[in-house]
Structure 1
């Protein structure tokens, strides 16, 4: 990251191009409640320098956020409505912040971890989020369509910790990947079938 940044600076492009990296939520040692979010002892040894780099250069951190994996790992304690962003009210109260969906809770746990690492000014870009349509009891066309649509509808609102700040979010993935694995679900994250036919009627406006 530093070498790439130095090359960009030498070309006087540092105001146009930012250097970052992506992480997944396994780097967090604590996710619950969101205010207690922190990087694991193992990850903090190198994330501290990454966060410092991002903060010093005004670059965002890219995060792969998958409530689906949290749900299938603990479905007895997490409701499907909470994960699919359709809970009618607050499910988790964390001090002054009330959470109606797991996506926000995960993201704010990451913001808490960044704050504890000196990166309170570092923005998070969700570089991946999605839901599979086959391969598991929770991986259905209906659940995937619900997740994608509700996520699209929600991201302009921000999170309880960062209200009103639209969350730059990328959906994973464009097409199913028949060579992915080893889990069957890994082959079914596409918004489209391999023949380019859409799986879901998703609206972006």
Structure 2
């Protein structure tokens, strides 16, 4: 079955105008090479020390890292490494930060200023997946909190270096296929308008947590595994309205968010992937959670990253992707898959080889693309 379901027809002139706006607004240019991003979670009781983690990351082709707090040991360990770091304001601080500019200044002064610029903090995620939370007060507080934090950074002279945004789940979309029909849910759309306005005013990206694994697990009989795994050689699917060809469900999901933002008048905002991954192990009912699929998914994304590949809608704008996650985390709640997204075991052993060759040096392990790797198909 084709990966795209047949959507309701919409006015072709409206879509043509929307597509024109999106293509003409491709002005946000990345200034990075083949560096990849990775999420460094810490929900485990057997993880390496921050210094050991930094040593590992510094020896790999990893130039961007996202963490879920502002752990002072982690922030200090990243000093002088040149690795770009996204840190997080926890959900329980969003409402206090929205209610008080002083609270935002206190947080920035205590958690960012002492480490900057030696530690290269380039982004702050205010909350995580707030727009799909059940707490209405939390959702209403998000943008005010972001504005207070951005104002605090401006007073500290850091607003030109540190983006303020938030990471949202794909649940903010009512429609994600085909990408040109991407639209926010009726519940999220009113909240998205002030959020997108803030991103446009501050030149900040829209971060999305997107997992094709969940789409495949939910309907393995009708969702193509190769498409979900971002296989660059898979025939993929063609958007019937834009005629753009997609060989990656993840890239299609990103373009769906871009179209949804454009429908609200903000098609120029870059959309990046703050989380994506595939579990290497799961419970009996978690279809597709295998080492082979996890290896294939992350490998395919790494190849696309090294090829500086953009989405079909934004072919000249390399898609920034943060893989989830660096380590398996044994204290994460939920099904078995939640504890098995890592590329590495806590003791430093690879969970699986994603097609990267590990070579021992006198100091640490280094990681480079295997010479036998094939380049991705260009769209």
Q: TM-score, normalised by structure 1?
A: 0.94
Q: Is the 8 A contact 1:52 1:118 kept in 2?
A: no
1:159 alignment partner in structure 2:
311
Question: What secondary structure is seen at the aligned counterpart in 1 of 2:239?
Answer: strand
2:256 alignment partner in structure 1:
109
**How far apart in 1 are the matches of 2:206 and 2:162?**
14
2:180 alignment partner in structure 1:
35
Q: Give, in angstroms, the shift of residue 7 of structure 1.
A: 0.7
| Runs of at least 5 residues in structure 2 that lack an aligned partner in the other structure | 1-145, 357-367, 370-379
Decide which of 325, 337, 341 is 1:189's aligned counterpart: 341
Q: Aligned pair 1:68/2:218, yes or no?
A: no
Question: What secondary structure is seen at the aligned counterpart in 2 of 1:127?
Answer: strand
1:139 alignment partner in structure 2:
289
Question: What secondary structure is seen at the aligned counterpart in 2 of 1:19?
Answer: strand
**How far apart in 2 are the matches of 1:90 and 1:183?**
30
Q: Is the 8 A contact 2:278 2:294 kept in 1?
A: yes
Q: Give, in angstroms, the shift of residue 90 of structure 1.
A: 3.4
2:298 alignment partner in structure 1:
148
Decide which of 193, 200, 203 is 1:55's aligned counterpart: 200
Q: Give, in angstroms, the shift of residue 91 of structure 1.
A: 2.3
**How far apart in 2 are the matches of 1:151 and 1:55?**
28
**How far apart in 2 are the matches of 1:62 and 1:175?**
21
- Tell me which moved more, 25-34 or 194-203: 194-203
**How far apart in 2 are the matches of 1:5 and 1:89?**
44
1:93 alignment partner in structure 2:
239
Aligned length, in residue pairs: 205
Question: What secondary structure is seen at the aligned counterpart in 2 of 1:53?
Answer: helix
Question: What secondary structure is seen at the aligned counterpart in 1 of 2:251?
Answer: helix
Question: What secondary structure is seen at the aligned counterpart in 2 of 1:157?
Answer: coil
1:127 alignment partner in structure 2:
274
Q: Is the 8 A contact 1:65 1:128 kept in 2?
A: yes
- Tell me which moved more, 134-143 or 7-16: 7-16
**How far apart in 2 are the matches of 1:124 and 1:192?**
27
Q: CA RMSD in A?
A: 1.4
**How far apart in 1 are the matches of 2:167 and 2:353?**
29
Q: Is the 8 A contact 1:139 1:185 kept in 2?
A: yes
Question: What secondary structure is seen at the aligned counterpart in 2 of 1:179?
Answer: coil
Q: Is the 8 A contact 1:64 1:129 kept in 2?
A: yes
Decide which of 127, 133, 149 is 1:4's aligned counterpart: 149
Q: Give, in angstroms, the shift of residue 8 of structure 1.
A: 1.3
Which one has the largest radius of gyration?
2
